[in-house]
Amino acid sequence: MKPAVPRQPASPVAPTGRSRPAFPARLDTTTAQAVNKPGATAAAVTRRAAPAPARTPAASGVGMDSMAVRQAMVRKLQGQGIVHPGVLAAMRAIERHRFVDSALAGQAYEDTSLPIGLGQTISKPSVVARMLELLCQGREGRLGRVLDIGTGCGYQASVLSQLAQEVYSIERLRALHDKARDNLRPFRLANVHLLFGDGMLGFPQGAPYAGIVAAAGGNEVPQAWIEQLAVGGRLVAPAVTEAGQQHLIVIERSAHGITRSVLEPVLFVPLKSGVS
């Protein structure tokens, strides 16, 4: 059995005194029924990946395995205005081509979304970097616990592993949950916990969170996510605004309440409830 990752103070959010959930774990279906839409279910199976920082699989030093390819991607991100050093380092460290089908590997470091199956996509590098920069903005050191809604192929969770003490990543589609598990296994990330369940419910067993980030957008940000945000925490997610267009939304919780900012328009897959 692998040793647990030691808990350390997070950015501006102090960890609570209660213990972390044990793994493997199950989502509380009683809570699910109370929060979810009628007829939706929630079940979870978690796994422990293995230790951070990431151990990348053996690389040949050429082609897609070359650090030069990722460095070129990072230079493009800088040209698009990404400046956070931790985010840039994390994007440089994680090999994006290992999260897409081999037939698409040649496009892995282009600034484009790519299909990962079941009607889902891996987000553009610029979108991942932008959302994580918003999550980390103004904070020193690693974040504390972070909730990643919509694991997909596991790429964003792996990048988050370089920025947070602990990452809970939840996926509602079993086939993608399994794919992410297989993709992450070679990286040996002990601080990433993959969950199968209804992301609209969040994961209350791990709350409160220093950060929450979502890779799918609905008509509004679920109240469950806001309730699971720690004081000093920040939530970054797409949502449809009053104008009827999807935008990036940043929600911050302080001792005085909640503030909400609407940023640039984006296009994400729809946020759905239940599991499949």
Kindly state the helix (H) or strand (E) to which residue 1 belongs, with its residue range. Answer: none
Kindly state the helix (H) or strand (E) to which residue 156 belongs, with its residue range. Answer: helix 155-160
Residue of 145, 181, 151 lying closest to 20 (CA atoms): 145
123 is annotated as an active-site residue: yes
For residues 54 and 161, is the Cβ–Cβ distance under 8 A?
yes
CB atoms within 10 A of CB 68: 10
Distance CA 102, CA 108 (A): 10
> One of 123, 158, 161, 169 is an active-site residue; which one?
123
Q: What is the 3-state secondary structure (H, E, C) of 31-71?
A: HHHHHCCCCCCCCCCCEECCCCCCCCCCCCCCHHHCHHHHH
Q: Which residues are catalytic?
A: 123
